[in-house]
Amino acid sequence: MDTAPRLRFGVTFTLSLIMSWTFATGVLALAGWTDSHTPQHFTSWVSLWVFTVAIPTVQALRIHRRLGEVLQDCAMTSPQIRRDLAHARFVIMMCGSMTVLLVVGLHFGR
């Protein structure tokens, strides 16, 4: 029987995933739509989405999976290490979302 603690997404990580995929994606879609409709502008907004939403999500989910493996293999891992790794999932997602806000603010603030 497996007695190792199961890793859950948690409220902050779940909210960061939801905000990134709804809010950040929506903001980028609206910002891209208000710009000129040329292939170059479309490519730049899609590239921004890839680097601020898609890649941070993949990396955060990889950290989540590895943290789960650490909990399975090393049940005696210190609570500080578990907490720091769990927090890293959230930080990666929020950095991507904040970058979206920064870029859109700079783009429309000119």
CA distance 88 to 30: 29
Rg, C-alpha atoms of the chain: 17
Q: What is the pLDDT of residues 84-95, one digit of tens each?
A: 888 888 888 888
Domain borders along the chain are 11-28+39-108
Q: Report residue 63: phi and psi, to 5°.
A: -60, -40
Six-digit token string for 7: 């890793």
Instruction: Give the pLDDT band (50/70/90) at residue 5.
Output: low
Cα gap 97→92, rounded to integer Å: 9
Give the pLDDT confidence score for residue 54 in this predicted structure: 92
Confidence of residue 100 (pLDDT cuts 50, 70, 90): confident
Distance CA 103, CA 32 (A): 12
Q: Model's pTM, two decimal places? A: 0.76
